[in-house]
Amino acid sequence: MKKYIWVVVLLVCSLWLVACSSNVATKKKSLVEADIPVKVMAVANQDFAITTKINAKTESNEDIMISAMSSGIVEWLGYEVGDRVKRGDMLVHIDSRMSKAQYEAAKTSLNTAENFYFRQKKLYKKRMISDQVLESAKLQYDTAKAQKKMAGINYENSFLAAPIKGLVAQKFVDEKETVMMGMPIYNVINSDKIKVVVKVSENEIIYIKKLSEVQVLIPSLRKNYKGYIESIGFKADENKKFPVTILIENKGSKIKPGMMAEAEIFLEKFKQVVVLRLDYIIAKGDKNCVMVVSDGKAIEKEVILGKNNDGYVHIEKGLINGELLIVEGQNEVLDGQGVKIVK
């Protein structure tokens, strides 16, 4: 009796499995035969560029620290922070009484040494003095000239002028303060042009050319500016990065030194090539494929990918101008399956 029951159970299970297989096959056949709605676009050649985006900070093109060239009391300061100056404008007067007195003394010493030397020359022509005496007079004269020149420089160093036109960015001392040689007094900047220094890798530096155009975004201003490559570093730093300097015209002085910037540098440009969004590509093992529509059916095509940039990729081989590329539904259709193009 038990044996009979087991035979019945096995027979029922077999019939159920056959029925299930039949349903799966029917559904699969139905899936293959159904026209799947898809959206397409016509493949069209276009220009394509490979870029690199690098964050940096803006700097003044000219940034000069005006430091004391002599020691003494600051007698006069001509400008405050924010004031504009022209090249040659007087900025600072440091007490010059001592240096002026030394200069006047050096002039007197030079006159004395000069007169003595020329008298000795006349005597030498008459053979009344030796070569050594004339050489000694000449040495005194040359020494006096050098001392007068040095005293003149020291006196001139009491007056500091602006070496560039620009804006007073910082002031470090006040009038009547005592300064020592080398102490900073003013920081003058010229921001008519803004400098952005970015660091690029050795794989990128080989594509960058001097005077090439660059797009620079200043996020705080929400604006893109055109710049150009002013200089390209020849030597890498400790991080194996090369410095590249970008200059931007700063009309209206809207860009301030120290603002964040994002520079987009063009590395390679391709003329009239097939370019697709990366999400149109279907990865299948070691192959990359796309789906196109031909005669109402989805056709799988293998493509060779080139370089990609910002979510787009250059298709080197596999697609041609005018083909209808499935851009929605490409992951839902099978090779050879009927499709219905929808808008």
Q: What is the dihedral of CA 249, 253, 256, 262, to 10 degrees?
A: -40
Q: What span, in angstroms and rounded, lies between the C-alpha atoms of 271 and 273? A: 6
Report whether 334 contacts 294 (CB < 8 A). Answer: no
Specify the pLDDT at position 176: 94
H helical segments located in 75-162: 97-125, 131-156
pLDDT in tens, 106-133: 999 999 999 999 999 999 898 898 999 9
Kindly report whether the global pTM for this prediction surpasses the value 0.75: no
Q: What are the structure tokens assigned to 330, written together?
A: 């490409």
Specify the pLDDT at position 14: 52
Q: What span, in angstroms and rounded, lies between the C-alpha atoms of 86 and 223? A: 30
Which residue numbers in the chain have pLDDT < 70?
A: 1-34
Q: Rg (Cα) of the chain, in Å, rounded?
A: 41
Phi, psi of 119 (to 5 degrees): -65, -40
Question: CA of 31: how far to CAs of 22, 279, 293, 326, 334, in Å?
Answer: 14, 24, 17, 18, 9
Report whether 106 contacts 221 (CB < 8 A). Answer: no
Beta bridge partners of 249: 193
Q: What span, in angstroms and rounded, lies between the C-alpha atoms of 133 and 130? A: 5
Specify the pLDDT at position 343: 87
